[in-house]
Chain A
Amino acid sequence: MAPEDVVSRVFGVDRGRVTDATSNTTLAEWDSMGHVNLILELEATYGLSLSPDDTLTMTNVEAIKRVLQSRGAAW
């Protein structure tokens, strides 16, 4: 499952609307509670534990992909 799929599922938006530029400023559903849920889902999907610094930077899809790749996650 690609990070875009996770973002689409967590926020309940069409998969086609999710691009690298999708961020916590472009999606109303991506609020602080939504961010917590996104982190939980990413951790569960890729079986890894994200650091507090990671979670602070992962506020758009492009950054999410970068962090996940640096942690060896593949999709």
Chain B
Amino acid sequence: MAERDPLEDELRRLEKRGLQRIQQSRSGPDPQDRADAAAMEAEAERAGAHEIAEAILDSKGLRPTSTGLVVTFLLAFAMAAGGVPPLWVAIGTIVALLIELTRLGSGELVNPGNLFYILFVVFHIFIDAVQAFSYGPSRFTALFAFGLVYWGLFRRNDVPFNTLNAGRYAGLLLGCIFMWVVYGFVPTIFSWLARVGVGQEVFNVLLVVGPPIVLLFLLPETLLIKSGKQFWLILGIIALVAFAYNAGLAGSVLSIPGLQASPFAVDRWGAASNFGMLFWNPIKHATLNFYEMVYAPACHTVIDGLEKFVGGESSGMADSLCPAIKELEAKKRFDANASSTPGGLAGWISHRIDFATGQVEETKKEPPGVFLDPLIAQSAAVEGQPVIATSQIRAVTLDKPLNINLFCKAMGEKSNHTADSITPAKTIVVEKKDQKGIICMFDSLPAETFTFLVTASFDFKTVSYTKSYLALDTEISALGSRDAWFDRYDITERSPEPKFTPGPVSMGVRIEEQQPIIMYPKASPQRLFINIPIQNAYNGKVRQINRLLIALPKGLELEGVFGGRQKGDIEKIECNQLSDEDRRGCNDDFFNVYDVVVQDKDVTGITYRAVATVADYVSLLSPAPPAAQYVKVIVDYNYVLEQRSPGLTIEKAASKGLTEEVESR
């Protein structure tokens, strides 16, 4: 008996389905439907039954979208919110993936839009290359290999796209498995499992980019592909991913320099991470409310009922099978953090933005800094006569004396004038703590309205540091979890916040790793990403950032610093090469110190990203657990404070003749 051709079977199936659709439309009440059906019938005659099915799907706007993908995302969100047990998510996602694979395999989803899978692979290879294979060469090799395999199978020109074919089936299957299971899904789920477990908020690229991608799948993909504008689709996806990587993944060194000054930079209001929050909170609360109010009670009722039915007493099995309370511990910790910030979601987001730098450290005396009082000009003045404007400056420094340069200016509608004298001096020196009145004197000003300006510029240093706990992978493995490690060593501060000294800028130093940072000696070289966000904190300007001194614990080596305008190479130095002031607290026994000269001007906010390599994990974990290591950064910058007075109108002086007449009388 001759074997049946599966292709023919498929065509017959499609033909049958297409003709049924046409039949339904022809007999339907809608004249438009009837007209469409007639057109399709004509097209069917031209193109054959297979195209009929395609035409029907297109005409009805029924180009299939990735339902499985949407389900996967929703499940992942639900679990990230801490409300659905990971096992359930895993089962649900496997089912969703099977649906997806089946649909892909059956040819339902075959269109050029699927090329974006390849683009994702290529993009990630690029990221790995930029990050100097920080995830290890194995990841790069795997990406490269499956990218090639997928591309090789998928791009077969000898096989038309719309023909069911074993090669294409295999290609799609491989691509899908590689992309969603090996590369995308598994690491994400593992990462979430780890993070949700300690109650830290979950931020990763999937959360940030996920919802827009879902929307992209649902809406424009169909339209763009139908209209042959795949190019724009591809461009949009690249832009979206680049945006997320620039701002969403704080640990990534891949950043677009132009975006640093934009509202889309890391920690700014437009950062992708903040958009992620918009999706995060509603989904989280909706899921958890459902969990608390519907799922957990129902689950308990069913399990307890079953146990009673079987004839036993409640054994507490429901508690383990309906882990509402346990799973919600993460949520409670999360909410405890969130509720400590005012203003709901907006407050939460702004809190995150503030949070990005760190906390001002406690001081026992008056905090260091420079403060300039508002400038007050005299209330009336006459042309040609001296005019003064006064202010007051207060300064506190702990280390070297502060040199403060003062400058006064009268800014008129027609002319600007620099002060003829400044009292006490144009440069004042503050040894420790001082408070001085400032008098800006203008010998003569023309008759017009002036605004007076006083500026105080000075060099200042801010120190930021962060504590990090380090643990060996085998110890975490033996204890079972990070929380168990913290419990073992009686540590309650599980996410130490960066701190910085008071001054004109706020600053944070943060290793972008969950605590305790796990050391993997067998997977060396291990890299750590350190974020150093700096933001203007006073009502002035950071005129220029000159230098960063980065002190890493012994055992960590600095590889590079990104995100700023660097001048020259990074230099590893010893403490005795530093100035007396900077040498304070520097200890070669405990720290590797790096001098990074930068030239970033007029900064309102900037984030430097440092990449460090674990060179000697024994040093990092010594002398005894729990290893609490510090990363310290001293930033050296020039700051300008300014104050302006309200406008002062200089009156015209009386004419000379009239003046003489008055005097003679």
Query: Are the chains A and B members of one assembly?
Result: no
